[in-house]
Structure 1
Amino acid sequence: MATSALEKTLSQLQSTPPPSPQRISSLLTTAKKHLLHLSALLPSPTTPPPLLHLARQTLETGALLSIRLQDPDAFTRYFQQLLPFYELPSSSYQPADNGQRSKVTGLYLLLLLTRGDYAGFHTVLEGLEVEMKGGLEADRYIGYPVKLERWLMEGSYDRVWGATKKEGVPSEEFAVFSEVLINTIRGEIASCSEKAYPSLPIANAKNLLFLDSEGSVVDFAHIRGWVVKDGRIYFPLQQGEDVRNEKEILVASGQVIENTIGYARELETIV
């Protein structure tokens, strides 16, 4: 009876269209109660394979729905609960399970990137490399954060930005964290720009910061405390600097700004 109740709850969670956010939260709570009643929240040698499969499906569904609810902390808890299941021999599961594991793990790697937790990112990656014997980039879901991390280290923000567009995202769930990552990158570029330039034309800043319009640039500038005047943005850290120092400031700017400005110029040429 308890197994049937869990199957029914899982079916409701996986329905199309999905339930409302409030209903999802309620159903996830019910599903966890069923797992507790079945002693299936943690796998054990005595857990029947069908129940093992059902428990893992339930936790993976909870993880993916937590992202749709934009609750990264809940997603992290589900991922931690899934780790003991993922450590079991693959023979314990149906072949279709591997795809969900790949998606959930890839999402966790992307979440670590958005938080700047590169140590945690590489710890998870090292375990995957041993298990999968290389070829991580060939995996649709795991390869996505792996490529993003490499481009971030190279300062190739234009590639990261391009990969977060709809056609470059592996699934709808990845789009949530991808947008967070772009906002993080935008903040890093803004910090570099403040140190590298006395001012910038708004049109250049739009491409540099990967914003959709000049109005968005003005809004972003106000949030950062920048001064907008006569079609230019003036960075507070550089106000009052002699114009003769501008060349020295540009030369001192980092490779990240050089790469990104180059990309902005390419966009202007295309337009």
Structure 2
Amino acid sequence: MDPQMTEVTQLFGRFKAAFIRNDFVSCNSLLSQLKVLLTKFPSLPPSFQESPNAVQELTIAREIYEHAVVLSVKTEDQDAFERDFFQLKPYYTDTSGILPSSPQEYPILGLNLLRLLVQNRIAEFHTELELLPTSALDNPCLKHAVELEQSFMEGAYNRVLSARQTVPHETYVHFMDLLAKTGHPEWEIKDGFVFFQKAKESAPCKEIPSLQLINQTLSYARELERIV
């Protein structure tokens, strides 16, 4: 095996071990090292140079970025999610003739749709949908996101809440919780229950005592007489 591939494979093994035990500090450190090593692979996007190890390089790089996206969900880092997702996306869109499809593709594409919903980036949500083949929308992960967006736009917040119980993948729970919090400004979710905040009572209007108003008016009138 190529020495660089050996180094990446071994380091990725350490990353996955840390990932399984939820050692996210180690995961982030190892991920940074892996990303540096991946820059030495000539076959990766955007260059896609021909290489004897192209399939191996593309396969392990795709898996690394898939783990990076899921890691960002577990650490609740939406900025990292966006960066890692866009680094991962070319492996889904531009390697169809080189690599077999990844079993994580639709779950991660669905995660990205949920992220766009949470961030209220509805136009981008629909743009991402338009880039997908029609058949992809039958996938449970993507179908879940589409139905959720419809419920959200219709104001059917009860369906938004109930959708949390039927998530197609465990990683969706984080974004579902965020969506529930942002879906209705009067919601508060606590211990699995939805509470509606009591409307704030408006402060009573202060009435100006009529005698005070009369005295002020007379005072102004006297001042005007002096001026004239």
Query: 2:61 & 2:8 partners in 1: Cα distance?
Result: 9
Within 2, Cα distance between the matches of 1:234 and 1:88? 52
Query: Is contact 2:167-2:173 (8 Å) kept?
Result: yes
Who is 1:55 aligned against?
61
In structure 2, the CA distance between the partners of 1:158 and 1:33, relative to structure 1 (3 Å rule), is: same
Amino acid at match of 1:30: Q
Residues in 1 aligned to 2:29 and 2:71: alpha-carbon distance in whole angstroms: 12
Aligned residues: 198
- After the TM superposition, which residues 138-217 of structure 1 pair with which residues of structure 2 at under 5 Å, given as runs? 138-165=138-165, 168-187=166-185, 190=186, 209=187, 211-212=189-190, 217=195
Q: Does 1:133 align with 2:134?
A: yes
The partner residue of 2:39 within 36, 40, 45 is 36
Partner of 1:17: 20
Unaligned runs of 5+ in 2: 206-228
Q: 1:216–1:181: structure 2 CA closer, same or farther, 3 Å change rule?
A: closer
Q: What letter matches 1:10 in structure 2?
A: F
Q: Which residue of 1 aligns with 2:10?
A: 8
Q: 2:124: which partner in 1? A: 120
Supply the distance in 1 between the matched residues of 2:161 and 2:63 (Cα, whole angstroms).
32
Given that 2:111 and 2:172 are in contact with CA atoms closer than 8 Å, whether structure 1 keeps it comes out as yes
How much does 1:174 deviate? 0.7
Quick check: 1:76 aligned with 2:82?
yes
Q: Relative to 1, partners in 2 of residues 1:156 and 1:124: Cα closer, same or farther, differing over 3 Å?
A: same
Structure 2 Cα separation of the partners of residues 40 and 66 of structure 1? 25
CA distance change for structure 1 residues 171 and 135 in 2, over 3 Å: closer, same or farther? closer
Please report the TM-score for the alignment, with normalisation by the length of structure 1: 0.66
When you count helix as a share of all residues, which structure comes out higher?
1
Report what 2:214 is aligned to: none
| Structure 1 residue 12, shift from structure 2 partner | 2.4
Compute the displacement of 1:49 (Å): 1.5
Contact 2:42–2:49 (CA under 8 A) maintained in structure 1: no
What amino acid does structure 1 have at the position aligned with 2:11?
A: T
SS in 2 for 1:172: coil
Q: Distance in 2 between matches of 1:114 and 1:63?
A: 16
Structure 1 residues 115-169: Cα deviation after superposition (integer angstroms, max 9, x where no partner): 00001101111111xxx23450x2121111111001111111111100112xx11
Using CA pairs under 8 Å that are at least 6 residues apart, name the structure with larger relative contact order, 1 or 2. 1
Could you say which residue in structure 2 is the equivalent of 1:227? none
Is the CA contact 1:13–1:19 (under 8 Å) kept in the aligned structure 2?
Answer: no
Q: RMSD across aligned C-alpha pairs, in angstroms?
A: 2.4
Shift of 1:101: 1.4
Once residues 32 and 210 of structure 1 are traced to their aligned partners in structure 2, the CA distance between those partners, rounded to angstroms, is 39
Q: 1:18 to 1:41 in 2, by over 3 A?
A: farther
Give 1:175's aligned amino acid. Answer: V
Structure 2 CA distance for aligned equivalents of residues 69 and 27 of structure 1: 15
SS at match of 1:73: helix
Which structure: larger Rg?
2
* Aligned match of 2:97: 91
Gaps of 5+ in 1: 191-208, 222-232, 242-271
Deviation at 1:216, TM superposition (A): 8.2
Is the contact between residue 114 and residue 180 of structure 1 (CA under 8 Å) also seen in structure 2?
Answer: yes
| Residue range with higher mean Cα deviation, 8-17 or 112-121 | 8-17
- Percent identity of the aligned residues? 28
1:161·1:210 contact (CA, 8 Å) conserved in 2? no
Does structure 1 conserve the Cα–Cα contact (< 8 Å) formed by 2:140 and 2:168?
yes
